[in-house]
Every structure is written in C-alpha cells, then in structure tokens.
Structure 1
Amino acid sequence: MSDQAWDTLSIQAVSAAGVVYFLALMAYSAQWAAKRGLVAGDESPRAEVFGRFAFLLTGVAGGVHLLALVARGLAADPNRVPWGNMYEFTLTASFVAVLVTLVFFRRWDLGFLGPWVVGLVMVVLMADVIWLYEPVAPLTESLSSPWLVIHVIAAITATGVFTVAGLVSILYLLRSSGRMPSLPAAEVLDRLAYRLHAFAFPIWTFAVLIAGPIWAHQAWSRYWGWDPKEIWAFITWVVYAAYLHARATAGWKGRAAAIVALIGLATLWFNFIGINFFFGGGSQHSYA
C-alpha cells in the first residue's frame, strides 16, 4: 500500500472506531437502564447481556483504534512510531485508557468504568479530528532517537492510567455525595483510585525524570532546560507525589485525596494541551 493509502485507512479507522465506541456507549446505557433501582452489586439478566455486549463492542472499537495508530505510523515516510505530534499523542493516550479498562476489567472489576471511559474517548477522538489533526510528516531530527520510543511510551502509558484514575476519583466524589447508587461503594472507588495512581506514578517518574532528560541531552545537549512542558511535567509529578505521600503517611483518604488527584489530572492535561496554546512558540516540545 502507498503512504497515501495508509493515511486514508488511518483516518477511516478513527471514524469507524468512533462509531463503534458510540454503539458501545449505547449498550452501556441500556445496561444502566436495566440496572436502575437495583442495589450496587446486584445484576439482572438483561443488564448482564447488555454489559457483555458493551464490553465486546469496546474491544472491537479498541482494535479499530489500534489499526488507526498502526496505519498512521505506516503512512509516514520513513515509517515511524505514531507519536510525533499532539494528534498522534492524544490518539495513543486515549487508546491506552481503553486498553487499561479492558485488561483490568476482570481483575479489578472495572465494568462500571466502561461508559465513562468510552464517552471520554469519543470526545477525545472528536477533538482529534476537528482541532488537532495534522498531516503525516517525518519526525524532526530531535525526535529521531530510540529514546523517543522509550520516553513517549512511558509518558503515554502514565497519561492513560492517570486519566482513568481521575475518572475513578470523579466517580468517588459523586458516589460519596449520595448520587449514582448503582456505582460500587465509595470506599471501593477510593481504593481503586489509589491503586491506579500508584501504578502510574513510577511510570511517570521514569518518563519525566529519567528517560526525558536522557533524550533531551541527546537532542539538545542538556538534561534539563526549564522548558514550559518540562516545568509542568515536574509540577504534575510533585502533585501526584504529594497525593501518594499523603495517603501513605498521613492517612489521607476520601474527598481530600480525590481533590488532590484531580488537581494532578488538571496539571497533566494542561501540560499536554494548554502549554501548546499559551507557550507554543517558546517550548521545544510544541510538537507534542
């Protein structure tokens, strides 16, 4: 296939993934409607059928989503990893959020997260297509490094998991205020949010404080340059470190911990998107 054909396939796959995610969201909505009036943990046969169908559709959508990423990388000349700009990074981070939900669906009982993750991913894909899309282009010289793959894989993985953890923190706040009784107990959501944050934090640490500086030294002959994105990546690290430290040593739980976690999520996404709009011309990371 030609580069243009791969590019067309990638664009079509993004649209197709959006359609299947929408169908999955409808199935999750049907599951929710079938569970109305039930106590958390109870299940009706109809709700179980809708839930399984929604999970299947989410898996299919995730597969098409992955196809869009692979085709995007193959559309470049030379072929490369699809992480060279905001469009590609967002496309990949949203896929990771879906992947985390699918992989830990049974182990951590994440079925309740399905509609929230799918809904968020749909919004991200719409933003990608409408505002963030960029034509396929070769990587700049500074990005042509093996450390790009290492650094960005870690950053994308942490971003996806932190985003899912943030969703759980939001659901905790809703559940603890007496809303949405069909969700798991507030204590369960609080523990799950902590586990997800604890899983993502060392990955973010590696991306920001180890792999990033090594890549920066190769690309720009310095380990740290106080670039706006570097500063905000470190701020994000500090907020999440404070969250985990407060929970481990001061016994922070519940509402206070959830608010700190959401502050971390806000700094994370401001670093990714906001910096480009406010400091794009002054950042060496303006491409991502």
Structure 2
Amino acid sequence: MNSVRIDLGLSRYSDMAFTSAMVVLVVALLVLAVELARVRVRRVHPRTPAATVVAGDGRPGLIVEAPVRSWDERLGGAGLALVYLGAALLLACLVLRGLATARVPWGNMYEFINLTCLAGLTAAAVALRKPHNRGLWVFVLLPVLILLTISGRWLYADAAPVMPALQSYWLPIHVSVVSLGSGVFLVAGVASILFLLKTSRVGDGLHDGDDDVLSRILARLPEARALDEIAYRTTIFAFPVFGFGVIFGAIWAEEAWGRFWGWDPKETVSFIAWIAYAAYLHARSTAGWRDRRAAWVNVVGFVAMVFNLFFINLVTAGLHSYAGVT
C-alpha cells in the first residue's frame, strides 16, 4: 500500500495552470494568425528586376510585403509573448503536479503529453527565434493545442502515485528523454509538411495566378529552403535524443521484465520511427533524395510517432499498456 499523501491544493493549482495555459495559447494562436493574415502578397511582372523582388519563396514573380511595422509588429510581439506565457503556465502545471504527488510529473498519458507539448514549444522557441519565422508558430500551435485538448478532455488523470510497475528511477530518465525527442520531432514534422506544401502545385498557385486561400497562406511563410533547414536541424537534434530514450527503455525493460527487447507493440513502433528518421537523415545527405523525397521520409517518421503516441498507448494491448500510462 502506497503511503504517499496527495496535496489536493497543489493539484487544483496544477489543473488551473493547465486550463490557463490552454486559454493563453489559444489567444496566442489567434493573435499570430491575424499577423500572418496581414502580410500582403502581390504578383509582379516576371520581368521585374530581381532586386525589387522580396519573395517569401525565393522565386521571381511575387513580392511578399511585411505588415506595417507599427501596430502589426507589436501584435506579433504580443502573440509571441503569449506563447512564452502559455509555455510557462504549462511548466507550472507539471511542477505543481509533481509537488502534489511527490514524484516526477510524467507518470500517465495526461502528464506525458503535457511534457511533450512543453518540449515542442521550447524547441520551436529555439528553432523559430528569427523574426521572419514567426508565422510558423501558427502551424506549431495547432497540433500542440490539439494534443493538449485530447490530454485535458479524454486523458486527464487525478493526481496520484504511480503504480508499482513504474516506481523506478528509470521513469524520469526514460520518459523525459522520449518526451524531449518527441516534442522536437513535432517541430520537424510540421516544417517538413509545410515544405512539401510549399514546393507542391498548391505552393505554386500564386505564381500561376491562382488566388486560393492556402496558396496565399503558404506564400506568406519563409522560403522552402528555410523550412527544409528547420526540419533538418531539429531532426538532427531529436534523433540521438530519441535513440537514447529507446536505449534507456531497453535497459529498464531488462530490469523489469528480464529482457532488453521483446517486440512489444510500443517497442516495435518506436524502433520503426527511429529507423524512419535515420533514413531521412541519410536521404537528406544523398544526391537525388534531397528536398521532397527526403521530406516525405521525415513525414513518415512523424506519422509513426503520432501512431505510437495514441494508437499503441490507447488501443493495443502490451507490456506498456498501463491503462493509458506511457
């Protein structure tokens, strides 16, 4: 019988911090979306001197004008400040949950997803720190808010001690490293998806005289090369981190179950995702596979990560199935 007492007051404050983080991040998304929408894009004659063209895509024929630097610049800065505030509130949610339960606050799916989203926001803050990348925050916040909504609405768990199977010093090591890698992979996946859209026929829409909404939005984003570079740099960081998480999990499995690897569903899909990211990094440096082909491989890894996060944890049965616990 576990004698740990739960501080219900701190637990309530943790829940309040989570709700506040959700509200702040939603407002941040709306503010940054308004700033992105106000970036003006207009076509110019193909013979316009290159010196006069400031293209968000790097191709002639478009001028992407930043919004007027007074009110809109302050609007974008406010949106970014709200993102940082939301991340701080999410951190407070985790810290208060940890203090309330006297353990590391990532012992169930609710806490794990919150930690992964915090890692994603932190990675985006580093990868998107340049002002011209601020529009990408809209596309990072969308999946983060979807994950947090699922976490708070369907995966919420009352503050409690972890079950005996998870009471190990490997829990903070293994789960924190996997969460960090998964959060950074989220940024890489978003960048690769936008890169594929940017270099597709949809991305060429404004150059061909098409004025559909998606083409206009894509034209306001950084050039395709910048998106590809963000995906590559974040994947380079996350790949070894996630790999160490898999290794730490294998060591923990040997202590808990008497074997390093048993092809459990979560182990298997984690390995598939890791192989996909290894293939992406190899493809990214191989002639003939750069750009779109490599980006598709990165998206495959991202899909495997999402599949592993939800389907494996919530649907299939295996040694990692602790009633929704990672």
TM-score of the superposition, structure 2-length normalised? 0.82
The answer to whether the aligner puts 1:197 opposite 2:201 as a matched pair is no
| Aligned counterpart in structure 2 of residue 102 of structure 1, from 125, 129, 133 | 125
Does the residue aligned with 1:37 lie in a helix, a strand or coil? strand
Structure 2 equivalent of residue 52 of structure 1: 77
More helix by share: 1
Does the residue aligned with 1:243 lie in a helix, a strand or coil? helix
Q: CA deviation at 1:103?
A: 3.0
Letter in 1 for 2:125: L
- For 1:128 and 1:145, how far apart are their aligned partners in 2? 24
Letter in 1 for 2:115: T
1:143 and 1:219 in contact (8 A); partners too: no
- For 1:5 and 1:17, how far apart are their aligned partners in 2? 18
| Aligned counterpart in structure 2 of residue 157 of structure 1, from 180, 200, 205 | 180
| Per-residue Cα deviation, 1:225-268 (whole angstroms, up to 9, x for no partner) | 22111111111111111111122234522221121111111111
Letter in 2 for 1:283: L
Letter in 2 for 1:12: M
The answer to whether the aligner puts 1:70 opposite 2:108 as a matched pair is no
Structure 1 equivalent of residue 197 of structure 2: 174
Taking structure 1 as reference, are residues 168 and 214 closer, same or farther at Cα in structure 2, changes over 3 Å only?
same
Taking structure 1 as reference, are residues 65 and 207 closer, same or farther at Cα in structure 2, changes over 3 Å only?
same
The answer to whether the aligner puts 1:284 opposite 2:304 as a matched pair is no
Answer with 1 or 2: which has the greater Rg: 2
Paired residues, number: 284
- For 1:103 and 1:185, how far apart are their aligned partners in 2? 18
Does the residue aligned with 1:133 lie in a helix, a strand or coil? coil
- For 2:238 and 2:131, how far apart are their aligned partners in 1? 15
- What aligned pairs does 1:1-288 form with structure 2 within 5 A after superposition? 3-37=7-41, 39-40=55-56, 42-43=65-66, 44-45=68-69, 46-76=71-101, 79-106=102-129, 110-177=133-200, 178=203, 179=215, 180-208=218-246, 210-280=247-317, 282-286=318-322, 287-288=325-326
- The alignment's C-alpha RMSD in Å is 2.0
Which runs of at least 4 in structure 1 moved beyond 6 Å after TM superposition? none
1:101 and 1:110 in contact (8 A); partners too: no
Structure 1 equivalent of residue 59 of structure 2: none
1:142 and 1:220 in contact (8 A); partners too: no
Q: Which runs of 5+ in 2 are unaligned?
A: 43-54, 57-63, 204-214
1:84 and 1:143 in contact (8 A); partners too: yes
Q: CA deviation at 1:70?
A: 0.9
Identity %: 40
| Per-residue Cα deviation, 1:187-234 (whole angstroms, up to 9, x for no partner) | 2211221111111101111111x2111111222222112211111111
Does the residue aligned with 2:316 lie in a helix, a strand or coil? helix
| Per-residue Cα deviation, 1:101-131 (whole angstroms, up to 9, x for no partner) | 1233336964222112222222222111211
| Per-residue Cα deviation, 1:61-87 (whole angstroms, up to 9, x for no partner) | 1111111111111221xx111111111
